[in-house]
């Protein structure tokens, strides 16, 4: 039984060691060393080259290294009859909540303004706002969104959440659908995007959406670059409609580095690292699913391809 692994090169050893410790019976082959393609029954991949999966005749299950599966759906030859399992593991969720809490606090406490003051040699106080007077809205109330919303609750922020279907989460005012978004946006002083990239969410963070936010709102996008209209985002920052943005994802990755978003004084840019899949906990999740599959039991976190997430 062989599993094909494609992750970024710097983390291959971590994955390899975790599989060796938790499932020594599994032969792990690391892309591009495929060996005999007929032996590969499972694949755990991040951004595989289009067409690769279709060349594996005995593949049984496709696992995504990431929570998002848009990188797999881009493959026109994706074997859509096979189960596709997205990554849900505690390390990834915890990492995202750290990023969201860090970024929300940074905008809440005017750190972009203070950093600009520091660079200009200025000393000026900005009136602090109590957390319970600040509204944070999270787009996407899945694994990532719900955990981030819970952890933001510790600070006492007013919390709003938006999803496709109705949700309930203690202490969070929940909205869904197009009408829900319209109602949420005028209240969202700090807007966090944790949505998957689908036909329903692509380009959502656009000029119209920015114009509906309170003036001076901040944007945090750790969903996907495909959610944001980057020209509109720069215009909203330059006009003061947005006071700042924390971006982890871009239309062009890694092409955004060195471009206008990267250089903008009111953007805090990170290179798609808001949350990293942690090999030990991720391998536990993949191995548990392989064992379920081998035992003829239903796997967890199987993607509904008709929803695209």
Residue 25 is encoded by which pair of tokens?
């019976």
Angstrom distance (rounded) from CA 270 to CA 296:
42
To ligand GLV, the closest distance from the beta carbon of 277 in angstroms equals: 6
Query: Residue 165: which of ligand GLV, ligand NAP, none does it interact with, CB under 5 to 8 A by kind?
Result: ligand NAP
Q: Which lies closer to ligand GLV via its Cβ, residue 2 or residue 222?
A: 222
Q: Which residues contact 308 (CB under 8 A, 6 or more apart)?
A: 69, 70, 73, 196, 197, 198, 199, 200
- What is the contact mask toward ligand NAP in residues 123 to 142, using x (rule: CB under 6 A)? -----------------xxx
d(CA 184, CA 289): 37
Choose the stretch contacting ligand GLV; rule: CB under 6 A; options: 4-12, 61-69, 176-184, 232-240.
61-69
Interactions with ligand GLV, residue window 254-293 (CB under 6 A): 277
The phi-psi region of residue 47 (left if phi > 0; otherwise alpha if psi is between -120 and 50; otherwise beta) is: left
224 is catalytic: yes
Query: In terms of CB distance, is 41 or 147 closer to ligand NAP?
Result: 147
Backbone angles phi, psi at 269, to 5 degrees: -110, 130
Let me know if 291 is a catalytic residue.
Answer: no
**Which residue in 6, 28, 68, 137 binds ligand GLV (CB under 6 A)?**
68
Tell me how far, at minimum, the Cβ of 239 lies from ligand NAP, in Å: 27
Catalytic residue selected from 107, 134, 224, 227: 224
Position 67 contacts ligand GLV (CB under 6 A): yes
Per the document, the length of the chain is 309
- Give 151's contacts (C-beta < 8 A, 6+ positions apart): 97, 100, 101
**177 φ/ψ sector (left φ>0, alpha ψ -120 to 50, else beta):** left
Tokens describing residue 80: 């859509």
- Give the nearer residue to ligand GLV in terms of CB position, either 135 or 277: 277
Helices 90-108, 111-120: crossing angle, 10 deg rounding = 60
* Footprint on this chain of ligand NAP (rule: CB under 6 A): 66-68, 92, 96, 140-145, 162-165, 194-198, 200-201, 222-224, 248-249, 272, 274-275, 309
Residues with catalytic roles: 224, 272
């Amino acid at each position: 039984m062989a599993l094909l692994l494609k992750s970024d090169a710097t983390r291959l050893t971590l994955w390899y060691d975790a599989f060796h410790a938790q499932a020594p019976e599994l032969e792990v082959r690391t892309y591009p060393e495929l060996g005999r393609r007929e032996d590969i029954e499972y694949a755990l991949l991040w951004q595989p080259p289009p067409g690769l999966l279709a060349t594996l005749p005995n593949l049984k299950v496709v696992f995504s290294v990431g929570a998002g599966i848009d990188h797999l759906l881009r493959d026109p030859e994706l074997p859509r009859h096979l189960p596709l399992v997205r990554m849900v593991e505690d390390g990834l969720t915890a990492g995202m909540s750290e990023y969201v809490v860090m970024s929300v606090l940074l905008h809440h406490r005017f750190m972009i303004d203070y950093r600009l003051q520091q660079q200009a040699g200025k000393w000026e106080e900005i009136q602090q706002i109590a957390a319970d007077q600040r509204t944070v809205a999270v787009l996407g109330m899945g694994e990532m969104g719900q955990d981030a919303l819970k952890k933001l609750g510790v600070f006492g922020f007013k919390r709003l959440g938006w999803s496709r279907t109705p949700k309930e989460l203690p202490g969070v005012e929940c909205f869904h659908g197009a009408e829900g978004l319209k109602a949420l946006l005028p209240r969202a002083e700090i807007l966090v995007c944790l949505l998957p990239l689908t036909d329903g969410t692509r380009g959502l963070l656009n000029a119209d959406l920015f114009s509906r936010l309170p003036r001076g709102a901040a944007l945090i996008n750790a969903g996907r670059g495909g959610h944001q209209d980057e020209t509109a985002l720069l215009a909203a920052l330059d006009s003061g409609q947005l006071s700042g943005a924390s971006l982890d994802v871009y239309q062009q990755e890694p092409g955004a580095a060195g471009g206008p978003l990267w250089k903008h004084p009111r953007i805090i840019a990170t290179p798609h690292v808001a949350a990293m899949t942690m090999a030990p906990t991720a391998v536990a999740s993949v191995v548990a699913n392989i064992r379920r599959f081998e035992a003829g039991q239903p796997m967890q976190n199987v993607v509904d391809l008709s929803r695209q997430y």
